[in-house]
Amino acid sequence: MQLEDNAGGDILECESPRRLKVSFGGPTSLVELRLSPDGDDTILELEHTVPIEMAGSGAGALYVGPGWDGALMGLGLYLSGEMTPDPFAATNSTEAQVFSKESVHAWTSVVETSGTATADQIAAAAEVSLAQFAPDVGT
């Protein structure tokens, strides 16, 4: 499978319509999506795992976590009928970048609490993540 302008990989397991597991950007980067009923709603769980050698430290989560947050926000807007005619413009809007900035800060807090990265690793990853996901709204 290939996501347009993003990573691709192989479909490893598919239990339609409940579970999908794929490699994503490399054979050891694994993404699993799980759907489960919750009354009239559906719960979506996303798990993205990579070996520590690939991530470098827990700060590696800052390179992808905010991207998944934005993608899931976009999916929610799409499913609620709040689609935009220009998804690229929406992704780069001030509102989306503010959302992404808050996501980077939330991921930073989680990694700090986890003790899986040094302060320098976290600061470097946060700087790169903010430049990628929220370049126009500051830190």
Q: Is residue 139 part of a domain?
A: no
Of 49, 69, 85, the residue at which a domain comes to its end is 49
Q: Is residue 68 part of a domain?
A: yes
Q: Is residue 61 part of a domain?
A: yes
Provide the CA 73 distance to its chain's centre, in angstroms: 10
Angle ∠(5,24,111) on CA atoms, nearest 5: 100
Q: What integer pLDDT is reported at residue 6 of this predicted model? A: 85
Band (138; pLDDT cuts 50, 70, 90): confident
Note the pLDDT tens digit of each residue in 61-98.
999 999 999 999 988 888 899 878 888 888 889 999 99
Structure tokens at 138: 């500051």
Residues 22, 63: one domain?
no
Band (34; pLDDT cuts 50, 70, 90): very high
Residues 25, 62: one domain?
no
Q: How many beta carbons lie within 10 A of that of residue 85, not counting itself?
A: 6
Q: What integer pLDDT is reported at residue 136 of this predicted model? A: 94
Q: What is the domain extent for residue 8?
A: 1-49
Mean pLDDT taken over the chain: 93
SS3 content of the chain, % helix, strand, coil (to 5): 50, 20, 30
Q: Is residue 70 part of a domain?
A: yes
Band (121; pLDDT cuts 50, 70, 90): very high
